[in-house]
Amino acid sequence: MSDASEGARSTAGSARPEHSQGGAYPVRGEEYVRDTRYIDTRVTADGRDGFPVEPGRYRLIAARACPWANRAVIVRRLLGLEDVISLGLAGPTHDSRSWTFDLDPGGRDPVLGFERLREAYFRRDPNYSRGITVPALVDTTTGAVATNDFARITVDLSTQWREYHRAGAPDLLPAEHRDEIAEVSRYVFTEVNNGVYRCGFAGSQSAHDEAYQRLWTALDRLEDRLRNRRYLVGDSITEADVRLFTTLARFDAVYHGHFKCNRHKLTEMPVLWAYARDLFQTPGFGDTVDFEQIKQHYYIVHSDINPTGIVPDGPDLSGWTGPHGRESLGGSPFGSGTPPGPVREDERVDPAHTPLS
């Protein structure tokens, strides 16, 4: 739901760079409300919207900084879709116009040939005026965005692309838990994923206070829910865990200080901290997280919140690889499935940006 981060949508061409990263700041005194107007066409097995599932046709454009995009990268890896859907990564910072491909040689995406992601949006609609957001699935046959509906993208990777899942891929949306996963995921989104943004982008003290209380009520509830169960729903990882993890992974690095969500650090919440470490050490999760790019994005792009652009050196990341003890709760990360294989060489996180060896 964000263009660069998990925040609100941006307005293409906005003069304020924060708009193209996480959504418009509210008018002073107002609470933050996310713009959720996405391109709602879908890539489906039957091609009902004109975008049929087809190996090699679509390119997932993401950014390691963005929690919404991080979800799609995790699910793609867990399901083994790397050879079916290619991955393009925008850099962690951008201006008001769009995410850019400044990490690639020559500053252009090697498949699409674009310097800026907005080119793919304008291929879809020359008059496009909403958020230039990641994740986006781009149709490489036309260079146009097929969809940027981040919540549907991960669900469709699990359901519409099933024919191309790797052998041993986990079922992230098991039928027997589908309703509970949907309920928990909605709660995680409204109260936590979006909750940290309501705190960070609040337009007044009262709006921040209300958002802060709402966020910590939810985190306390999740701490209690996970005290005696290893995962949010059932005995293995589901879509709900993916959705919570990407916010927890960013909590101490950016949300605690930068977004003023500072009642406790994640490391001071024993259950959620152990849960986050358990997932981080599970193949497909921590190996997609680039802490340096996360910090660069939030502290540099959110110039209204951090006008100096100073990026802190911390926090200490070594604890992410320490023992978590969650195995004692039972369950198995992949259910009857197996872990994904090693990360592709061209998709590895810079070793200097992660505590994983």
pLDDT value at residue 96? 83
CB contact at 8 A, 57 and 31:
no
What are the E-state strand segments in the chain?
Answer: 58-63, 86-90, 136-139, 144-147
Task: Give the model's pLDDT for residue 28.
Answer: 52
CA–CA distance, 174 with 186 (Å, rounded to integer): 17
Distance (Å) of CA 58 to CA 44, 72, 141, 145 = 12, 13, 8, 9
144-147 vs 86-90, strand pairing mode: unpaired
* pTM beyond 0.85: yes
Q: 94 by DSSP, 3-state: which?
A: coil
pLDDT at 31: 76
Closest CA to 271 of 222, 233, 202, 341: 222
Helix (H, G, I), strand (E, B) or coil at 281: coil
Preceding peptide of 52 cis, ω within 30° = no
3-class secondary structure, 61: strand
- Domain ranges (residues) in the chain: 58-164, 175-347
Mapping DSSP to helix (H, G, I), strand (E, B) and coil, where does residue 87 land? strand
- Can you tell me the distance from the alpha carbon of 54 to that of 165, in angstroms, rounded to the nearest whole number? 13
46 touches 25 (CB < 8 A): no
SS3 state of residue 59 = strand
Q: How high is the pLDDT of residue 95?
A: 84
Q: What is the C-alpha separation between 135 and 63, in angstroms, rounded? A: 7
**Would you say 298 and 197 are in contact if contact means Cβ atoms under 8 Å apart?**
no
Which class for 314: exposed (0-12), middle (13-18), buried (19 or more C-beta within 10 A)? exposed
Question: CA-CA distance, 48 to 164, in Å (whole number)?
Answer: 19
Closest CA to 292 of 92, 90, 100: 92
Closest CA to 274 of 255, 294, 292, 248: 248
Active site residues: 66, 197
- For the segment(s) 175-347, the CATH number from 3.40.50.300, 1.10.3720.10, 1.20.1050.10, 3.90.1300.10 is 1.20.1050.10
**Which residue stretches of the chain have pLDDT < 50?**
1-25, 27
Superfamily name with CATH number, domain 58-164: Glutaredoxin (3.40.30.10)
Between CA 201 and CA 298 the distance in angstroms is 12
Length of the chain in terms of residues written: 357
Q: Which residues are annotated as a binding site for glutathione?
A: 99
CA–CA separation, 15 vs 29, rounded Å? 22
Contacts of 91 (CB under 8 A, 6+ apart): 63, 99, 100, 101, 102, 103, 293
> Distance between CA atoms of 16 and 307, rounded to whole angstroms?
13
